[in-house]
Each structure stands twice: as structure tokens, then as C-alpha cells.
Amino acid sequence: MQVLKLGGSVITVKDQPMTADDDNIRRLCEEVKAAWPTPLVIVHGGGSFGHPVAKKYGIAEGFTSERQVLGFTRTHQAMVALNTIIVDTLLDLGVPTISLSPSTFIMTRDGRIEDINLEIVGRLAVKGILPVTYGDAVVDRTKGFSILSGDQLAVRLATGLGASRLLFGVDVDGVYTSNPKLVPEARVIESLPLDKLDGYIKIGEALTTDVTGGMLGKVSEAKTAVNAGIEVFIGNASKAGVILKALRGEAVKGTILKR
């Protein structure tokens, strides 16, 4: 079993609200199709669909005002819209894909997953069905509601389903020695041991920012998976063939997080 997280910055156009990156989505779905059949769960981020709405209504901060109720539902429905584009594309390609809506089977406490029904996801995946889920606005037992990041969800699914590998498809080539957008000599760290993570974590901070934490949040979440013995790979899903090779377990540019 593998879990593939596709970053919102890869599958949407970041500066244009509610705009999918149709070319990237189509290409990534074709890469998944080329690796199919294989036991797999996909988790995708929100990009320009979920994040602007969630930010506008302060959903991540929890329930403080009645006007957020409509914002909560609009955030979720924006994510359903993005998810539908991906699921429909995979179904068109003949990959038996099912949408799983996090707000329907997950509850958080203070923003961390507390309840999750893994039996349905697991049963679907072993039947040869590809579950596609996403970061979402969810019910939170203490805050009323919260934003569940796709990164947190991907790690939880990987550990809960006993996945062997967790692949993060992002819009850069991996974790860098410095911010490559600022430092020309920055290079990708091919193999990053867990005990050196904390030193590097701040490096990634400026690479991408979103309401759920960007590269900092990703690497920080991923520690749990690494500690559980799962191989974690971070690579560039904006470049053709990277995800296909990663899914097949072939060597490809990126960062592998190690114990």
C-alpha cells in the first residue's frame, strides 16, 4: 500500500481562486493510470479552492461566530469541486476511483485527528478501488470545527493502513539546503535522516505557504510516518514522470526522509 499526497500548488493555479491546473491534473492522473493497478490512496490539498475560503472565514481558528457556519460549508464544497475534477478524470481513464469526504468520516480535537474510520478506506483499497480524499473543513470536538490539512491526513492514512511508502508530490524538487528561490547554490537533500530534520525544517519554511503549513508542516507531520518505519519521499509533481517513477519505486530526484 502506498499513499500519495498531491500538493494544492501542483493541481491548482495558486493566484486564481477556484482554478484547477487542468494540465497537471490530467498528466498526474495519467501517471497514476500507468502505475495502476497498485494498492494506493490519494490525498490532495486545497490550493486555490479550499484555502482562500477557509482563510476568509477563519475556519482553522474554530467556531467563534455564526457567520463562519456558511464559510465552513463553502470551504467543504470548494474542496468537493476540486475533488470531483480529479475523480472524474481518473474515472474517464478507467481507474475505479471513489471520492472520500473527510468531514464525513473524521473528527478532530484541537485540529488533530481523533476519530477516523479506516475500515471503509482499507476495504475499498484492497478491492482494487482507488480512494481519493483531501484536506477539508471538519467537525472538531473542542473548537467546533477546524481545518484538517491534507498532510496530516496523508500521514494518518499511511500509518493507519500500514502503508510501506508515503509520497509527497510538491512544486519543488524536494527539501533544499537553502531556499532555492533566494539562494542560487541551494541543492536538494537526497537523503535526510530524522535526527537532522529539525535543523533543516526552518529552511523549507519560506518555500510555500498556505493555511496548513507548507513545507514546514509537511516535514514536521512526516516525522510520525518515518518513525513508524514508512519510507517518505518528497518530489516534484509538477515535472512529468516524477510521480510515476516514485509510484513504481524507481530512482528519481527528490528527498527521502529516513530514521
Contact residues toward a copy of itself (CB under 8 A) are 63, 66, 69-70, 72-74, 76-77, 80-81, 84, 87-88, 91, 94, 96-101, 103-105, 107, 115, 117, 119-120, 123-124, 127-129, 139, 144-145
Measured CA to CA, the distance from residue 106 to residue 123 in angstroms comes to: 17
Beta carbon of residue 118, minimum distance to a copy of itself (angstroms, whole number): 12
Amino acid occupying residue 199: G
CB contact at 8 A, 181 and 171: no
Which stretches of 49-170 are assigned E, i.e. beta strand? 97-99, 106-109, 112-116, 130-134, 136-140, 144-148, 165-170
CB of 22 to a copy of itself, least distance (A): 18
Shortest Cβ 212–a copy of itself spacing (Å):
20
Question: Which is nearer to a copy of itself, 117 or 164 (by Cβ)?
Answer: 117
Least distance from a copy of itself to the Cβ atom of residue 84, Å: 6
Nearer to a copy of itself, 73 or 179 (CB): 73
Specify the residue, 100 or 246, whose C-beta has the smaller distance to a copy of itself.
100
Of 116, 130, 93, 191, nearest in space to 6 by CA = 130
From residue 21, alpha-carbon distances to 49, 52, 76 in Å are 11, 16, 19
